[in-house]
Structure 1
Amino acid sequence: VTRTFVDRDRRTPADPSAGILAAPRRMLPTTIYYPARGSLEAGSLTPDAPPARGAHPLVLFNPGSPGTPEDYEALLVEWAAHGYVVAALEFPISSVAGPDDAAWEDLPAQTKDARFVLDRVLDLDPEKAGIPEIDDDHIAAAGHSFGGATALSLASECCRDDRIDAVLALAAVTVTEAGPALKQTGGPILFVHARSDRAVSWGEAVALCRKTAAPKRFLTIEEIRGLRAHVIPFLGEGDEYSAIARPAMVDFLDGYVLDRKGARARLERAGAGTDIAGLTRCPADPEPTPTTTPTSAAPR
């Protein structure tokens, strides 16, 4: 299900280099993935499938830059298959332009975009929208890279939203010049980040983790390098990295949004017995990781 929510009270700035014209409003296309009723294959995407009965927890997903829900579809469908309604939005600047100057300047506005979309999704009539009922007492925010900063802002002093129970920060940008200020961040938060990510610094994410109030966990992905390290654990399918990262994300959601102790116990074992991932409360003594300007194949 796709809906375009329009915030008429806030403007979209121009980004000439990306062909984006200034507008007096912000258009926020949002794709909603949901658990379906019946005998559909688990993890399959079936448009207009009958929604599952009962109330379901919500994940508000913020994509990287550039990035759209379709780029993350395999991941988001997997969350839906585990019982979550997932509302994935597109941002007016960063989803199209990539992490250019205009996108960085617009980054603080993305927090208000996310909050606006959350309001509108919760206001939907499930029957008319063709989605399951949403359990508004169980909500997570998630974001990759550029969108990770937006998700983290919802658990930070600047912009905390008390409706958010937990945050998934996936290779998240954690240092912002124009904002939002990611300070006094509070858990539950799961950081997932490759040590050798060259698009967004692992060390900077570790530094924020160390300042974040518990509960918090940090899943470090090892071995994979460069820009591949920034995307494969999240956008990949059938590889050894996403095979560890994805179940850990579901266990975190189940454990901290739905308060399932068994899921928390499974999360603590993420990466155990392998050389390619390890879970800690926060890694110690991070070293700065050099970054490069990501390409369109590597959302930031």
Structure 2
Amino acid sequence: MSRRRTAALLATTLLTAGLAGCSGQAPAADRPDVPAAPATSATPAPRVPAGTAPARSFAVGVRQLKLNRDGDRPLPVTVWYPAAGPAGGEAERSAPAADGRFPVVMFSHGLGGRPDDYAVLLTRWAAAGFVVAAPTFPHTSRGADGNVLDVLNQPADVSYALTRVLALDGEDGDPLRGRLATDRVAAAGHSAGGVTTVGLFTAGRDDRLDAGVVFAGTSLGVGTAFAGAAAPQLFVHGERDEVVDYAAGRAVYDAVPWPKAMLSLSKGDHGRALLTDGAALRVVSDTTVEFLRWSLYGDAAAKRRIPADAARDGLATLDNHL
């Protein structure tokens, strides 16, 4: 596919993605079919050994990292993490980290969005025992120039930011020194960030990643040639998505050769369930937390809880091949 054609397709599909894209005003557009991988009766096992996730909730701290890739790609990163002290309440800036070693989740925002737009969901992940690092991308964040084609550079941005975040575990004097499970890492993202996340397992495969969560994503520009060690994937998609067709997200899910599941919100649109607290967000939050507990902590009990969390209140269905 030519570079110009790729840009046009990405612009059509993702122009209103992220926070602004939830208005339902995006025009319908034809999108190319994505070939599905042949079905297999057995899938490779994930590489995270069996373990147990924390049973308690944590307080949440938040901090900012000022990163810049290659000197011309500023990448401020918001980091939410388990903090010392009683659980509940707002995230506290620069709070002391809780004791323990916590897996890392890299989160990519949608077009026209910012990490804080997803704070309700991401702080729940942190409270469950994960360090969540979310870059603000230089061209696709709110207030930037909106260059949609730059989505194709974002998998490399995430890999760079991941390197810098993991390095904090060994940095003298850093509040996260000795607190990161550097061998247990996932990537997640919404819409354009979903494209970024798919790219981290295909064309821009980062071998450090053990799992992925794709919200309302597609494979335009990054393909479906999933590569590397088995990395379980959870897809979350609204069946009434007005920006990225549900069928397009489903086609990428079908192409995944590893353990996988797809949470389909029967009345879900492009992303309001991720941005506003409510029954749908609770289903998404609880399902994704259990998936991360299983895929990054190796917690088998969490895996068994996924179907019940997905079915709560009859808001979603789960295609489960984990």
CA contact (8 A) 1:64 1:143 kept: yes
1:185-233, Cα deviation, whole Å (9 max, x unpaired): 6640000011011011111011111111120000000124xxxx22222
State the partner residue of 1:160: 205
Cα distance in 2 between the residues matched to 1:187 and 1:54: 24
Superposed counterparts of 1:67-82, under 5 Å? 67-82=113-128
Q: What's the counterpart of residue 280 of structure 1?
A: 319
Separation in structure 2 between the aligned mates of residue 114 and residue 269 of structure 1, nearest angstrom: 32
The Cα RMSD (Å) is 1.9
Native 8 Å contact 2:199 2:219 kept in 1: no
Q: Which residue is 1:95 aligned to?
A: 141
Deviates more, 1:127-136 or 1:106-115: 127-136
Which runs of structure 2 are paired with 1:175-254 in the superposition (5 Å)?
175-176=219-220, 179-184=221-226, 187-224=231-268, 229-237=269-277, 239-254=278-293
Rate the CA distance shift 1:275–1:268 in 2: closer, same or farther, 3 A: closer
1:98 offset after TM fit, Å? 7.5
Q: Percent identity?
A: 33
Q: Which residue of 2 aligns with 1:55?
A: 101
1:245, 1:72 → 2: CA distance? 12
Question: Could you tell me the TM-score, scaled by structure 1's length?
Answer: 0.80
Distance 1:98 1:175 in 2: 23
Q: Secondary structure at the match of 1:128?
A: coil
1:21-61 CA distance string (max 9 Å, x none)? xxxx110000111100122x336311121111121110011
- Kept in 2, the 8 Å contact 1:65–1:97? The answer is no
Find the aligned partners of 2:313 and 2:129 in 1 and give their Cα distance. Answer: 28
Contact conserved, 1:187 with 1:213, CA < 8 A, in 2? no
The residue type paired with residue 258 of structure 1 is Y
Give the 3-state SS of the residue equivalent to 1:27 in structure 2.
strand
Change (3 A) 1:99 1:266: farther
Task: Identify if the C-alpha distance between structure 1 residues 80 and 126 changes in structure 2 by more than 3 Å, giving closer, same or farther.
Answer: farther
Give distance in 1, aligned partners of 2:262 and 2:212. Answer: 12
User: Cα offset for 1:273?
Assistant: 5.9
User: 1:195, 1:221 within 8 Å by CA — same for their partners in 2?
Assistant: yes
> Do residues 35 (structure 1) and 82 (structure 2) align?
yes
User: Paired residue for 1:111, among 144, 147, 155?
Assistant: 155
Change in CA separation of 1:99 and 1:143 when aligned onto 2, cut-off 3 Å: farther
Q: Is the 8 A contact 2:209 2:231 kept in 1?
A: no
Counterpart Cα distance in 1 of 2:205 and 2:311: 33
SS in 2 for 1:230: coil
**Structure with larger RCO (C-alpha < 8 A, sep 6+):** 2
Mark the CA change 1:180 to 1:251 in structure 2 (over 3 Å): closer, same or farther.
Answer: same
Deviation string 1:243-300 (CA, Å, 9 cap, x unpaired) is 2111000000001111111110111223336432010138xxxxxxxxxxxxxxxxxx
CA distance in 2, matches of 1:169, 1:77: 18
Distance 2:141 2:295 in 1: 29
Please tell me the residue identity of whatever aligns with 2:288: M
- Deviations along 1:105-129, whole A, 9 cap, x unmatched? 1111101100110011111256633
Any idea what SS the aligned residue of 1:147 has?
A: helix
Cα distance, 1:204–1:187 mapped onto 2, change above 3 Å:
farther
Whether the 8 Å contact between 2:236 and 2:262 is mirrored in structure 1 is yes
Given that residues 254 and 263 in structure 1 are in contact (C-alpha distance below 8 angstroms), is that contact kept between their aligned partners in structure 2?
Answer: yes
Aligned residues, how many?
255
Is contact 1:269-1:279 (8 Å) kept?
no
Q: What's the counterpart of residue 2 of structure 1?
A: 64
Q: Secondary structure of 2:226's match?
A: coil
Give the superposition deviation at 1:183: 2.3
SS of the equivalent of 1:73 reads: helix
User: C-alpha distance in 1, partners of 2:171/2:194?
Assistant: 28
TM-score (norm 2): 0.75
Is 1:151 the counterpart of 2:203 in the alignment?
no
2:173 is paired with a residue of what secondary structure?
A: helix
Question: Which amino acid is the alignment partner of residue 34 of structure 1?
Answer: Y
